[in-house]
Structure 1
Amino acid sequence: MRLAFAALAACLLFPAAASAQDCANAADQAKLNECAAKALHEADTQLNADFKEIETRLADDADAKKLFVEAQRAWIAFRDAECGFQSSGVAGGTAYPMINANCQAGLTNQRLMDFKNYLACEEGDMSCPVPAAE
C-alpha cells in the first residue's frame, strides 16, 4: 500500500518525470503515438520561442526579417513534405502518427540547432545573419 501511495505521489508531484517514464515503457501503439506527438510538441514549442527571439533581434532589419520568415515557411513545407514521404510506407496504419511525428520532431530538433547557432553569434561575425544579443 505504501509503495502504491508513493508511486501515486511521485506521479502527481513530478508529472514530467512520470510522463517520460511512461514513454520509455510504452506498451501499445496508442501510447507510442502519444509520446511521439508530445516530443514533437516540445520541439516545436522550443523552435517557436527561438524563432521569436531571432525575429526580435532582426527587428531593425526588415529585409533580413522577411528573408528569415520566408526561409522558415519554406523549411516547414519541406519538413512536412519530407516526413509525409518518410512515413508513406505506413500510411493508413496505426504506426503512421508515430512515424510521422518522430520524423517531424527529428527535423525540428535539427532546425532548432540552426536557431541555437544563430542565437550564439558573436558580435562582428559577418557569416552570421542574426545580430548578437545586446
Structure 2
Amino acid sequence: MAMNKPLAALVALTLGLSFALPAAWADEAYDRCIKQANATTITYSTCGSDWLKREDGKLNAAWKRVFAQAQGQTRTDLLDAQRAWIAYKEKACGFYANGDWGTDGRAIQYPICQAAVIAARTHDLEAIGKFLAPQ
C-alpha cells in the first residue's frame, strides 16, 4: 500500500527528529513530572511548558556567550542566522498543536518536538562558541 504524502512527511519528520530526541528526552525533570502527572491535559501541558522553559534558558545562556564572542560580519551573520532559526522553530512543530492530533499532539508531542529543536540549536551554538573562542 502506498503512503499518502502527508503521512510520508510525518514519518520522515518523526524519523529525522528521532535522532535529536535522545538528548532532549534526557530531561529528568520532565520524565519525573510526566510519571507523576495525574494523566490530565493540564498536567501534561505544565510538564511540557516547564521543560521548554528549561531548554529556552539553556539556549539563551548559550546565545549570550556566543554572541558576546562574535565580532564584525560574523556578529551580523550570527544574528541573521538566529533570526532565521527562530522563524524555523516557530513552525517546525506546529502541526502537532494544530488540533489534528488532539490532546496527545498538543500536550505531549509538541513539547517533545520543540525541546528537540531547541536542544539541537543550543548544541549548535555551543559548537560555534568553541570555534569563536580565543585559542
Which residues of structure 1 form unaligned runs of 5+? Answer: 1-16, 122-130
1:117 equivalent among 108, 112, 127: 127
Q: Structure 1 residues 36 and 63 mapped into 2: Cα distance closer, same or farther (>3 Å)?
A: same
Structure of larger gyration radius: 1
Q: CA deviation at 1:31?
A: 1.1
Q: Aligned equivalents of 1:110 and 1:31: distance in 2?
A: 26
With over 3 angstroms needed to count, the CA separation of the structure-2 counterparts of 1:45 and 1:68, relative to structure 1, is same
Match of 2:34 in 1: 23
Task: Count residues in correspondence.
Answer: 105
- Closer, same or farther: CA 41–133 of 1 in aligned 2, 3 Å: farther
Unpaired stretches in structure 2, ≥5 consecutive residues: 1-27
Identity of aligned residues (%): 26
Residues 27-36 or 44-53, more deviating: 27-36
Q: How does 1:50-129 map to 2 (within 5 A)?
A: 50-58=62-70, 61-88=71-98, 89-90=100-101, 93-95=102-104, 96-121=106-131
Q: Is the 8 A contact 1:37 1:98 kept in 2?
A: no
**TM, length-normalised to structure 2:** 0.66
Letter in structure 1 aligned against 2:93: C
Q: Which has the higher contact order (CA 8 A, sep 6+)?
A: 2
More helix by share: 2
Runs (4+) of structure 1 exceeding 4 A deviation are 17-20
Once the two structures are superposed, the pairs formed by residues 3-14 of structure 1 within 5 Å of their partners are none
